[in-house]
Amino acid sequence: MQRILGALSSWRTALTDRPVSLYAASVLRIGYGLAYLAFLLREFPHRQEIWGPDSPWTPALANELFVQTGWSSILTLSLAPLYFEACYVLALVTCLLFLLGWRTRVISLVFAVVVASFHARTIFMTDGGDNLILLMSMYLCFTACGRRWSLDARRLRLRAEADGAGAAKTGAESTLMHQLQFTRTQLVTLLHNCGMLVIAAQVCLLYGSAGLYKVQGNFWGNGTALHYVLNLDLFRPWPALSILVDHQAMFIAVAGYLTVLLQVALPCVLFSKVKYVVLPLLLGMHAGIAVLMGLPLFSAAMIIADAVFLPDRFYLYLARHLRRLRHRKASRKPGDPDRAGTSHVPAQAQPRPATGTGAVRPSGIGSQSPRSVSGLLTSQVSRVMWSVRRRLRGAGDGIQSARDDDQSVRPRRRFAGR
């Protein structure tokens, strides 16, 4: 019983003590905000045919489906063209603010409503990538995705620098405010950690179910599934490229087996370093889906979702590396006249003027007359070798003189002994 209570206490501490993966949550916010903003801008010329009153999926048909599914959309509240244009502009502004992280608590809710409204309005007109964005937008409402890399984080930092430590309150009011702040912090941390856990579980469920579903098919078992995928007319944005890839039979078979293996293996390797090998391979797989099948929104949604499995230290290292590269590039401006034409050859010093009749010749590379670097180095090496040779010669003379003295002393010792 004590062991169970200890485990529950440790789980409670882990969920309420410290928010996890704050940088990963910020990456999800930036990624999905940017992806949906690019999607709306890409479909801007076709907005009337997809979501507007003139869409083949009319508002009347959408309302009939809403009765069956329980969905709703702000786009069907009015059939006026001006209202639809206002909703579209509102969606663009919401995506931009969500991307930048401005008032994230409120904007995340508005972003979820926008994604749900556009998704429900024409549920049969998109490629399926917005399904995952819809789920993630709902999960992100419970996370603290504006704590890092956002305008909110910048505003709080500037406010803290301006206010300093702040004026401390005393008495019962201070104790009550402290308790309320502590409770609020624990509640926000709990919601954030649970939201990130649900996001990770959703991605694992998606990959695992897709891999196990593929295993049941004969086409994936014999390695010919991608051959049939590349020959679907609905998913061939560049037929010549699809035909070129389809002719590589060995590559098609290996890619098919590797796809199934990666999707089944990802939920099993999350707590090991093998995930750093699996995640880049999955990124390459989704990039191939985006190019060969013409599903950029779906591929972008999956690639962004994979970011939840990377730890915060990876994003901190990446940020430091990018800052270092930016500072290095800023220090090497091409138009800087002081840095243009610089070389690694040291500057030649001017010779000292001779004083008196006997001019002293200065030593050192900097005091020589202007010559090539190789000549200067050769002269210095020759000078050093000459000094070493002279010292060795002096040492040899000393040894020889010691030997001569020893030879002259030995006969005297013998004579004295006799």
In a domain, 380, yes or no: no
SS3 188: helix
pTM: 0.75
Confidence of residue 397 (pLDDT cuts 50, 70, 90): low
* Residue 272 domain-assigned (yes or no): yes
Handedness of CA 162, 168, 174, 175 (dihedral sign): positive
Q: Report in angstroms the alpha-carbon separations of 255 from 97, 318, 322.
A: 39, 30, 33
Q: Which amino acid is at 354?
A: A
pLDDT of residue 15: 76
pLDDT tens profile 58-100: 889 999 999 988 889 999 999 899 999 999 999 999 999 999 9
Per the listing, tokens 């998704």 go with 119
Q: Is residue 415 part of a domain?
A: no
Q: Which of 68, 63, 81 is nearest to 122 (CA)?
A: 63
Domains in the chain: how many in total? 1
Alpha-carbon Rg of the chain, whole angstroms? Answer: 37
231, part of any domain: yes
Whether 411 is covered by a domain: the verdict is no
Per-residue pLDDT of 158-206, as tens digits, reads 988 887 655 445 555 578 787 888 888 889 999 999 999 999 999 999 9
Residue 122 counted as domain residue: yes
pLDDT tens digits for 318-367?
A: 989 888 888 888 877 555 544 444 444 445 445 555 444 444 444 444 44
Does a structural domain hold residue 263? yes
Q: Please list, in sequence order, all residues whose beta carbon lies within 8 angstroms of the beta carbon of residue 270, skipping any fewer than 6 positions away.
A: 200, 204, 309
Tell the residue number behind the tokens 């969500």, with chain if given: 98
Domain that holds residue 36: 16-154+182-319
Asked whether residue 342 is domain-assigned, the answer is no
